[in-house]
Amino acid sequence: MAEDAQTEAPPPPEPTPLERLGHEVGTLPGVGSVSIHLGELVALADRDGLVPLMIALRDDPRFSFEQVMDICGVDWPERAERFDVVYNLLSVSLNQRLRVIVHADAATPVPSVCSVWPSATWWEREAWDLFGIIFSGQPDLRRILTDYGFEGHPMRKDFPLTGYVEVRYDEDRKAVVYEPVKLTQDFREFDFLSPWEAMTTLPGDEKVHASRAKD
């Protein structure tokens, strides 16, 4: 009876396809850690080993990430390495996705992956333009969204919302001119009454209040 009372522990659940993929990605050189966040596989990679890792993710038949869908930056000003460079990879043949993240600062270059996916040039130019992230080995590191004479990188969290200069067309000079930002005083006065809220008073209410006070 005592032996019958003892129940065997249930076997551990089978890993999901995403967990199996994460385990295989975690065995690759250059991968620091792998996690599943909000149903998506995220790998934290070493910056120096980024290019060999990306080649393995593209060419290994277990992964077959043929496309880099996006490369973007995230700014964390309080960190020593303030930037996250995020690579969103897609395998069309295996219908699976992977997000690879490397850390960077404003001075240390990140190896370019344009030799792995030529389309990465557009995304790396955008990350340089908006965040100031430097990519070594990128032959065409130019601004792509801001103007040629733009100063700074507008997606950094310490960049002022108004920018440093404003652009306008000067009719007298017949040319586009750059000038320091000047905020008109009118823009400093705000009406915080929401149009979706009922007005507390209407014109003429003061007469009603005055008559009631007399009564």
Q: Which of 75-89, 137-151, 169-183 has the highest mean pLDDT?
A: 75-89
**Range 110-117 average pLDDT:** 96
127, 109 contact by CB (below 8 A): no
Note the pLDDT of residue 57.
96
Q: Which of 28-42, 137-151, 164-178 has the highest mean pLDDT?
A: 28-42
**Range 78-100 average pLDDT:** 95
pLDDT band at 205 (very low <50, low <70, confident <90, very high): low
What are the phi and psi torsion angles at 74 (to 5°)? -135, 130
Higher pLDDT pick, 199 / 150:
150
Please count the other Cβ atoms lying within 10 Å of the Cβ belonging to residue 177: 12
- Residue 89 falls in which region: left (phi positive, over 0), alpha (psi -120 to 50) or beta: beta
* CA-based nearest residue to 156, from 119, 90, 105, 112: 105
pTM for the predicted model, two decimal places: 0.76
What distance in Å separates the CA atoms of residue 213 and residue 31, rounded to the nearest whole number? 77
Note the pLDDT of residue 21.
94
Domains in the chain, start-ordered, CATH in brackets? 13-214 (3.30.460.80)
**Range 77-102 average pLDDT:** 95
Note the pLDDT of residue 147.
83
Whether the per-residue pLDDT at 199 is higher than 80: the answer is: no
Dihedral over Cα of 24, 74, 110, 86: its sign: positive
pLDDT in tens, 114-127: 999 999 999 999 99
What distance in Å separates the CA atoms of residue 171 and residue 175, rounded to the nearest whole number? 7
What distance in Å separates the CA atoms of residue 138 and residue 112, rounded to the nearest whole number? 6
pLDDT in tens, 146-172: 887 788 899 999 888 888 888 889 898
Q: What is the mean pLDDT of the chain?
A: 87
What distance in Å separates the CA atoms of residue 86 and residue 73, rounded to the nearest whole number? 6
pLDDT in tens, 42-77: 999 999 999 999 999 999 999 999 999 999 999 999
Whether the per-residue pLDDT at 190 is higher than 70: the answer is: no
Q: Which residues pair with 119 in a beta bridge?
A: none
List C-alpha distances in Å: 185 to 112, 165, 203.
46, 17, 27
Q: Which residue has the tokens 């396809």?
A: 17
